[in-house]
Amino acid sequence: MIPAILPTYNRAPLAFVSGEGAWLVERDGRRFLDMGAGIAVNVLGHAHPALTAALTAQAGQLWHTSNLYEIPQQQALAERLVAATFADTCFFTNSGTEACELAVKMARKYWTAKGQPDRHVVLAFTGSFHGRSSAGIAAAGSKKMVDGFGPLLPGFRHLPFGDHDALRAAMAEPDVAAVILEPIQGEGGIVLVPDQCLKGLRDLCDETGALMILDEVQCGMGRTGRLFAHEWAGVAPDIMMVAKGIGGGFPLGALLATEDAAGAMTAGTHGSTYGGNPLACAVGNAVMEIVADDAFLADVRRKAGLLRQGLEGLVASHPDVFERVRGSGLMLGLRCRVPVPDVVAAAHGQEMCIVPAADDTVRLLPPLNLTDDDIREALARLDRAAAALAEQAGAA
């Protein structure tokens, strides 16, 4: 018999009933150290007083009115995002994949408005992840995600990750509207696009006119120690997808764009019933208030250094379990020499949450406000998990 919940997820047999900071309480009372933050969502951990206050104050006042009316909380959040980024304008969604939908629509509308509707192809990279909507799976193109769901949304072309010659050739095609990529692939296993490559891509986009769409759903909102990861490379996209961390756990996403890229999106061309509603934006403003701050981001970089250094030490002391560390800021991957599900289970055994990824990698995506003690505790627990795995492997 099919379960009451459509069985599309592989869930751990854990249920958390409360949380505080980087800690979660399981229904049996055990306290888990949360180094996954709901897949990079809980940027300020659990039950952050400022977020709880913003949400409860708004909840007592007004939940939802729809985008038929002005929403002051949404206006304030848009102004914050515009002030803090390359963008001139924002559209609010409820998720990352909805931001992907709009990114693709916006790129196509842009060229249609310029009298070039045949310029509709979006270039994307293997190993990427842009969500589970039709545009998202067509963009990512991985077999696991698209199999059986055809016909797929047409107009996507896939390029091998890191092949500059292939990229240059693909960008020269006259039907290319845009290129979409994650500055750091998350689901794909914490794979960084080197700064030089992002710069090179920006140059190619400037030469050809193709729009540069960055998916910062996972790597954005302070995760790398800058508000957005592309800032490290000193380049700006034309369009950027944001979600996950922006709501701190409340469903919220956004599509940010330059005035030029967004120019054809006039009244009636796109919409969302919930997108940017008062509850979501009250929380979004509270998140931005804390995260879009130089001192906060500097502390993320400092803590990222501590965690990374500790992880390098773990790789050195458990060479049979871990291969290497990669990533940026508090978006770190540990490439494993043992099966990833075993590593996740061993972490659960030590009462710690980590997130699996492709490419034999586990991800550490902790709340950005975890403490130095939390970091030391995470390293100690990972050390014990690795020792248990090494023992199992030895016994097998």
Question: For binding to ligand PLP (CB under 6 A), which residues are involved?
Answer: 95-97, 129-131, 182, 186-187, 215, 217-218, 243-244
User: What is the 8-class DSSP label of residue 219?
Assistant: T
3-class SS string, 335-390 = EECCCHHHHHHHHHHCCEECEEECCCEEEECCCCCCCHHHHHHHHHHHHHHHHHHH
- Provide the minimum distance between the beta carbon of 39 and ligand PLP in the complex, in angstroms, as a whole number: 6
Name the residue whose CB lies closest to ligand PLP. 96
Q: Which is nearer to ligand PLP, 73 or 97 (CB)?
A: 97
Q: Which positions ≥6 away from 84 have C-beta within 8 Å?
A: 227, 288, 292
- Asked if 138 and 156 count as a contact pair (C-beta separation under 8 A), the reply is yes
| CB burial string 57-85: b at 16+ within 10 A, e below | ebeeeeeeeebeeebebbeebbebbeeeb
Q: Which residue, 110 or 125, has its beta carbon nearer to ligand PLP?
A: 125
Min dist CB 349 to ligand PLP, Å, is 27
What number of other Cβ atoms are within 10 A of residue 5's Cβ? 8
Structure tokens at 114: 């310029």
> What's the closest the beta carbon of residue 96 comes to ligand PLP, in angstroms?
2
Residue 214 or 235: which CB sits closer to ligand PLP? 214
Closest by CA to 238, choosing from 263, 267, 268, is 263
Helix (H) or strand (E) holding 127: none
Q: How far is the CB of 35 from ligand PLP (least distance, A)?
A: 17
Q: Looking at beta carbons only, is 202 or 244 nearer to ligand PLP?
A: 244
CB of 146 to ligand PLP, least distance (A): 15
198 vs 346 by CB, closer to ligand PLP? 198
- Comparison of 127 and 186: residue with beta carbon closer to ligand PLP: 186
Tokens of 381: 């627990």
Tokens encoding 153: 């949304």
